[in-house]
Structure 1
Amino acid sequence: MSAIQEGITLNEDKTLSFGNYEVTEKIKITDFNVDGNIYKIRTHNEVTRLSKNGNLLLETVPGATIHNFYVTEKEANFSIEGLGDTLVTLELEPNTNYSLFINDVNIDKIKTNLSGKINFSTTLSKEPQEIKIEKHS
């Protein structure tokens, strides 16, 4: 896989791919419209940040490239690539328990805070990792 040169794209399967951890100058897209939802992306080697309708959806520090990103009521799925130790922040449903899977391995149970955010760290490389965050029923 590779970095998204245009900052963000809508894939044929209706998932989003975004981010470019390889550039030092910021790529900023402010009005990416998908089905009436407005996405904003800011990405470079220090941070990748995706917002939807003004609310944070996902952020990585340092920057990363996200492929095939989608979120439903029950789960979030995407693959991620980058360089080195990376902190990922994702906004989901507030005060809810989730399981974190990296490359199909159940890593941990995570509870979102009152604003719905979870944080986890992973070591990235140019070989994408598959991330799945599944809501407990």
Structure 2
Amino acid sequence: MAVVTELIRTEEDGSISFGNYELPAKAKADNYEHEGDLYKVKTCREITKLERNGMFVYESVPGTAVTHFSATGEGMQFEVEGAEDAQITVELEEDAVYRVTVDGVNAGNMETNMGGKLVVSVELEPGNASQVEIHKLA
């Protein structure tokens, strides 16, 4: 996996990819249309942030490259790569419980706060992508 040099793109499977953790200064792409929604991405070494229709979706500190990102009402899944371990915050349904897996390993059940945010720490190594899956529990 590599950084997303165009900052955001649509993949053949209908998912999106975004982020470039190799950039020394912030770069952004605004008003990227995908399936009727407008996306905005800001990315650099320090942070990667994605918004959909002006609303928070994803943020990582430090910056990451995310591929095959897809979200539904039941959760989300994506591959993430970075230069070092990252703290990832995503927006989901508020006051709900989600099962989080990283590279197929159960990271546990996590509850979102009143704002719907869920925070996951992912151990990353340059050149190696980690698969993150977040699924809502009934």
TM range (shorter): over 0.9
Where do residues 45-124 of structure 1 align in structure 2 (5 Å cutoff)? 45-124=45-124
What is the CA RMSD across the aligned residues, in angstroms?
0.8
Letter in 1 for 2:39: Y
Q: So what's the TM-score if we normalise by structure 1? A: 0.97
Which consecutive residues of structure 1, in runs of 5 or more, have no partner in the other structure? none
Letter in 2 for 1:98: Y
Q: C-alpha distance in 1, partners of 2:35/2:90?
A: 21
Contact kept? 1:83, 1:123, Cα under 8 Å: no
Q: C-alpha distance in 1, partners of 2:35/2:75?
A: 20
Size of the aligned set, in residue pairs, is: 137
Q: Secondary structure at the match of 1:51?
A: strand
Q: C-alpha distance in 1, partners of 2:123/2:35?
A: 33
Percent identical: 34
Contact kept? 1:27, 1:43, Cα under 8 Å: yes
Partner of 1:36: 36
Write out per-residue CA displacement over residues 56-106 of structure 1, whole angstroms, 9 at most, x where no aligned residue: 100000000000000111121000000212110000111100011001111
Q: So what's the TM-score if we normalise by structure 2? A: 0.96
Partner of 2:2: 2
Q: C-alpha distance in 1, partners of 2:134/2:86?
A: 17
Which stretches of structure 1, 4 residues or longer, exceed 4 Å deviation after superposition?
Answer: none
Q: C-alpha distance in 2, partners of 1:120/1:75?
A: 14
Partner of 1:13: 13
Write out per-residue CA displacement over residues 24-80 of structure 1, whole angstroms, 9 at most, x where no aligned residue: 122201110112211000001100000001111000000000000001111210000
Partner of 2:136: 135
Q: C-alpha distance in 2, partners of 1:104/1:85?
A: 17
Q: Which has the higher strand share?
A: 1
